[in-house]
Structure 1
Amino acid sequence: MKSLSRNGGGEPYASDSPEDRGSRRRRGVGPLAVAGAISGLPGASPRRGRRDDASIHDRDRRRAGGGLGVATLRYQFPYMEKGAKRPDRPPVAHAAVRAAVAAARERANGLPLFAGGRSFGGRMTSQAQALEPLPGVRGLVFFAFPLHPAGKPSVVRAEHLFSVAIPMLFLQGSKDAPAELDLLQQTVAGLKGHATLELIAEADHAFHVPARTGRKDPEVLAAALAATVRWMSVQSAKPPS
């Protein structure tokens, strides 16, 4: 597989090649997921290539996703490309999301298309969708949606979600500090049929679980990804809205 990057500034790069895409079509691989590169984990570096906890976590996520039959297109926001710590302003981030979705549609060859990301990436994807629907996207997937700053409970960040008219999946740890469970459950319930909550017991914002649970982080991640694939399969079987 060969990674592709354009202009070094928020443009999408894909973890595939034309040969890989042809192979996926022959195997009948399922949905294509557009995901913002992971950020915000302990020890995370915004630069690509550093083998810290975040990059290893992201590598495991990509391997698991491929094994579950989901094609993926990953991309970075401009601030990550620059090695900056401060996230991009929403208009810049929204433009990066739209560029990634456009690139995915070029590669999809008819595969059902889903978009999302973890934390900031998921939030920016949802905002972009709320402002103007992302062409061809069948649903949104959020890993650790940041409902509010840690220690400052609020649902203000969820207000735009009521303008999203396609299905949404929230994969959230029950101990996620930027998403108090009762507020998250109220938000999902208020979104009615548009939203599904997949709760991961004892997991924090990085999907880490305490040793006392007897589970390892890769097991938790694998379960979250399996739940994602099941949800995308259900949505893919429905007529596009």
Structure 2
Amino acid sequence: MSDYPIAFNASDADGWNLFWKYIISNNQFYYNDFFCSMFSDYHKLVPLFKKHGYKTILCAGNGISLEPYFFANEEFSVTALDISSEANKFLANFPLNPSDLRGFYQENYPGNKEPAGNFYQEEISKIKSVKLVTGDIFNSDCCPGPFDVIITRKTLQCFWGKSGEKTFEGMQALLARLSPHGLLYVHTHNTDPWNDAMIEWVQSQGILDYSDYNADIGEKADQRLFYFWSTSG
């Protein structure tokens, strides 16, 4: 059994508020899956998104991940949607400062020294453009889109996995927000029992399974794309 509260329903706002309040107040897992500045696929995603001219991104079920801030830093228009007001309050008040941005700059632009000019002020302005929305993913009026890219990470997958019957309903809710030429990016745990069924279902909707970041999709770029990534962490 876990030593922290877990919500078992994707729409359980009270449960997820309790969960995130506990995690934040106890300083738990800040640099593990719960509190993530960027995932290992980041350096591939940004060029991919820019290659296809994507502009708008929805981070669905974002939790307390800083991922939306880093995409905003790359000048995408980013919305972060989560059921928990506690998660969004944490992000809204996250102390973005020069030391945070310096680490990000040096990590993503190796070989460079201190950024010149008013870099920090400009970056903070871009990052603060993220729209933080508290709401239920199953509510079609909440962040209706359309978005060029929708990203759902393990935060969202965790509570879909607790109630598998919601999986396809959740996928449909995401697809309803996706632009006609957009990309749905799904990141799950590789032991989730419904992964194969989810992939088959998405393909049955006429969406191209885009499994190779570097593939030349040519004319297929004019249809919806789906990328599925599973990890053990």
TM-score (norm 2): 0.36
TM-score (norm 1): 0.35
Larger Rg: 2
Higher relative contact order, structure no. (Cα contacts within 8 Å, ≥ 6 residues apart): 2
